[in-house]
Amino acid sequence: MKRTEISQLGEFGLIDRLTKNIELKNKSSEKGVGDDAAVLSFENKKTLVTTDLLLEGIHFDLIYVPLKHLGYKSAVVNFSDIYAMNGQPKQITVSLGISKRFSVEDIEIFYEGVYLACQEYGVDVIGGDTSASLTGLTISITCIGEGEEGKIVYRNGAKDTDLICVSGDLGAAFMGLQLLEREKVVYDGEKNFQPDFTGKEYLLERQLKPEARKDIVRFLSEEAIVPTSMIDISDGLSSELKHICKQSGVGCRVFEERVPIDYQTAMMAEQFNMNVTTVALNGGEDYELLFTIPLYLHEKVSKIKGVHVIGHITKADYGLLLETRDGGEIELKAQGWDSIKE
Amino acid sequence: MKRTEISQLGEFGLIDRLTKNIELKNKSSEKGVGDDAAVLSFENKKTLVTTDLLLEGIHFDLIYVPLKHLGYKSAVVNFSDIYAMNGQPKQITVSLGISKRFSVEDIEIFYEGVYLACQEYGVDVIGGDTSASLTGLTISITCIGEGEEGKIVYRNGAKDTDLICVSGDLGAAFMGLQLLEREKVVYDGEKNFQPDFTGKEYLLERQLKPEARKDIVRFLSEEAIVPTSMIDISDGLSSELKHICKQSGVGCRVFEERVPIDYQTAMMAEQFNMNVTTVALNGGEDYELLFTIPLYLHEKVSKIKGVHVIGHITKADYGLLLETRDGGEIELKAQGWDSIKE
């Protein structure tokens, strides 16, 4: 494959090359790349802003993460935060710090992933910054979205007796990561290593190409449901439940048997000799939506495909509890992946 | 000084500690730190978005840049981009990648600088991301501002015969950097090094604690002047003029004798055996505003303190020219600091 050094193009040349095909799709994107700032127009809408910093060696390992997938995932994890506010992502800025290891073609492949995600989710790339880096790849993405007055959902509105709902299934992305890490160790240094991932495709997909739950936000809107609280599951169910309970001043009761787990996740956890519930509660990177709704909406919410009621909100005094399969009760602890604490 | 390891607090603990005193000041800041996204409200205003990535060893050297100054500057350079659109900065998100070298107290000092800048410029910190980093300090700031319909100024509106104006003076930040770099080499390894910067304070201030030209944007508004084009000078006058001319499809003629240069800059350039005009044209990091106005506003603009008319816009065919002191003509070349090209 052709390798063009970034120094051959310079910063402005690189930006031109990466952004030359952008066509702004959203009405709110008035002016994108190419000036001191982008210009957006949110008439009668609220503006939502979220940002994520992803660093090589901390958040991703390029030994097993393809650059295109990395671009896709970097964008999608930000969209997920906007959906978690019951909003619609509309714009992103993409900033990259790039070491000499990377060629122009590498960065183009990364952007292919970003643009693919933007196409799937109807988002415009409106700006960014590009810089040399001494070591590794640094990715900083800010996502801007819109929300409707009165329909934005925070973490602090959960009320006693509300039902706790979660989309999709949990723990698969974490098991995908374990699998990739294991293969990396086993095949360390060997060229052309081709591990056999047959029967584990779902786990890899969840880790390498996660999706944000645009569909759930649409279903909620179609069913005229505005959750009382919502958050996306990036650090694990326990950690996110803790955020909701703390900010809402409530407790919760989750039923172990109701926590949705895919067959591949369960199989893999067993192979790794891990407790599958622990994996599902603390795994992280699921990017599913966790939300609460008033009890009377039970029937409506059960119509939404892929949403599971896993428990209910309680008074704060009860704490955060997990009712185990055998009828016991244990405290829910957030052992979530904490990118700083070690 | 007390040293608390970041691992003692964890990511959420660190964020709580850094953001606990935030009080949102702007009406448009509805909800700041503490949810999946911040919520903003820009009724009848346009939203402006800009972002900057700053990496240790590329954009700053902590040997001579105090962390508080770094925080201040990181925020201010983003505000400058919003002013360059004739807008008002209102919110920022601050993302940090932090290696183990840094303590909680270090990061608090950095934030003191950020908050000081926000206070001076009336900006709210509304979010961010905090992560471990394998090496050095990574700073990514996104600034959101507001602009009025019809008063946002782009780079592409300069017209033949327009006057070219620049605020403040040029080249001082670059000379400040040269001075710091020289002292760093001279005193390499020596403890308690106390170089004598007497008579060079202005150069250091311009490098270490730059300001954004909020005042110029206010004066322009008071005088009811909407420039035809505007940009902030971060990469050097020549480079920025090139952006304006390219995007506006025009040429320009700049008079060497009109380029504003401070006495300290001139003195220092002589000491370093550098051509002071080259320094002023290409130095970078001045964060002054470069803008164009129709000829008939000449009298009005000359009332604005600290604004200099340095030349005029021409038809594209004439190219980008500098008329030298001796009456000669040379092509303006952008040798600006290019963070990637080497």
Q: Tell me if chain B has a CB within 8 Å of the CB of A285.
A: no
Q: Tell me if chain A has a CB within 8 Å of the CB of B240.
A: no
Question: Pairing between strand B320-323 and A307-315?
Answer: unpaired
pLDDT by residue (tens digit) across A135-188? 899 999 999 999 999 999 999 999 999 999 999 999 999 999 999 998 888 776
A322 lies in a domain? yes
Q: Tell me if chain B has a CB within 8 Å of the CB of A335.
A: no
Q: Which of residues 289-328 of B touch A (CB under 8 A)?
A: none
In terms of domains, do B13 and B107 share one?
yes
Q: Tell me if chain A has a CB within 8 Å of the CB of B334.
A: no
A336 lies in a domain? no
Tell me how far apart the alpha carbons of residues A220 and A301 are, in angstroms, rounded to a whole number: 8
Q: Which of residues 94-153 of B touch A (CB under 8 A)?
A: 95-98, 126-136, 138, 140, 142-145, 147, 152
Amino acid at B126: I
In terms of domains, do A178 and A324 share one?
yes
Report the domain count for chain B: 2
Q: Is residue B289 predicted with pLDDT exceeding 70? A: yes
**Nearest alpha carbon to residue A208 among A79, A105, A64:** A64
Q: Are A340 and B97 a contacting pair at CB < 8 A? A: no
CATH at residue A321: 3.90.650.10
In terms of domains, do A117 and A173 share one?
no
Handedness of CA B4, B19, B140, B7 (dihedral sign): positive
Q: Tell me if chain B has a CB within 8 Å of the CB of A224.
A: no
Q: A143: which 2 tokens?
A: 């996502």
pLDDT band at A72 (very low <50, low <70, confident <90, very high): very high
Beta bridge partners of residue B231, listed in sequence order: B290
A341 lies in a domain? no
In terms of domains, do B174 and B141 share one?
no
In terms of domains, do B128 and B196 share one?
no
Other residues' Cβ atoms within 10 Å of the Cβ of residue A136: 19
A193 lies in a domain? yes
In terms of domains, do A194 and A80 share one?
no
Q: Which residue has the tokens 């900033």?
A: A95
Mean pLDDT of the B180-195 span: 76
Burial B229-262 (b: 16+ CB within 10 A, else e): bbbbbbbbbbbbbbbbbebbebbbbbbbeebbbb
Nearest to B138 among A53, A144, A341 (CB): A53
Q: Which domain range does residue A312 map to? A: 162-331
pLDDT, residue B337, reads 45
In terms of domains, do A100 and A175 share one?
no
pLDDT, residue B166, reads 98
Q: Are B53 and A138 a contacting pair at CB < 8 A? A: yes
A16 is an annotated ligand-binding site residue: no
Q: Are B50 and A37 a contacting pair at CB < 8 A? A: yes
Mean pLDDT of the A273-300 span: 95
B152 lies in a domain? no
Interface confidence: ipTM more than 0.90: yes
Task: Please calculate the CA angle B20-B26-B28 and round it to the nearest 5 degrees.
Answer: 110
Give how far A79 is from chain B: nearest CA, Å: 10
In terms of domains, do A168 and A307 share one?
yes
Enclosing H/E stretch for A18: helix A6-19
Q: Are B131 and A11 a contacting pair at CB < 8 A? A: no
B171 lies in a domain? yes
* Beta carbons of A51 and B35 less than 8 angstroms apart: no
Point out the domain boundary residue: B147, B176, B204.
B147
A157 lies in a domain? no
Residue B306: C-alpha distances to residues A273, B151, B153 (Å): 71, 22, 20
Tell me how far apart the alpha carbons of residues B212 and A37 are, in angstroms, rounded to a whole number: 15
pLDDT, residue B342, reads 34
pLDDT by residue (tens digit) across A47-62? 999 999 999 999 999 9
